[in-house]
Amino acid sequence: HYYQQQGDLERANDFYRQGLALAKAASYESGIAHAQLHIGLLALEQGQLNQAEQYMQDALATWQDMENEGMIAQTLRGLGDISVQVGEQRAADARSYFRQALQLAVKNNL
């Protein structure tokens, strides 16, 4: 987070990818999903929408397997943000992602 907040996107990307490699080596599913989500959010920030969506979809699948509704909601919100940036052809996707995220947020007092 720190490097991304400081605007050093290259260093943030390196940091997240190193974390992903370490989490995969340790078979640490939560760590893998966190790294994938952050790589996806960083890609979104850089306008790399296809890459962002792929990483977030992978993270979403893991969070769903783990039944971690808080992280599912956060990832759905990111996917909604991607759909908004893609434009009108993905407006229905954006609404669906945001609706699901809101339902989970309310359910879990997030």
Mean pLDDT calculated for residue range 17-27:
97
**Residue 92 pLDDT > 90:** no
Would you list the DSSP string of 34-63? HHHHHHHHHHHHTT-HHHHHHHHHHHHHHH
- How far apart (Å, rounded) are the C-alpha atoms in residues 85 and 103? 22
**Residue 86 pLDDT > 90:** no
Q: How far is CA 31 from CA 20, 41, 110, in A?
A: 7, 15, 21
- How far apart (Å, rounded) are the C-alpha atoms in residues 7 and 65? 33
Q: What's the CATH code of the domain at 37?
A: 1.25.40.10
How many domains are there within the chain?
A: 1
The pTM of the full predicted model, rounded to 2 decimals, is 0.82
Q: What is the pLDDT of residue 44?
A: 94
**Paired tokens of 54:** 């792929």
- Closest among 34, 61, 51, 110 to 85, alpha carbons compared: 51
- How far apart (Å, rounded) are the C-alpha atoms in residues 1 and 21? 17
- How far apart (Å, rounded) are the C-alpha atoms in residues 102 and 96? 10
User: Which residue segment(s) compose the domain that 98 sits in?
Assistant: 2-107
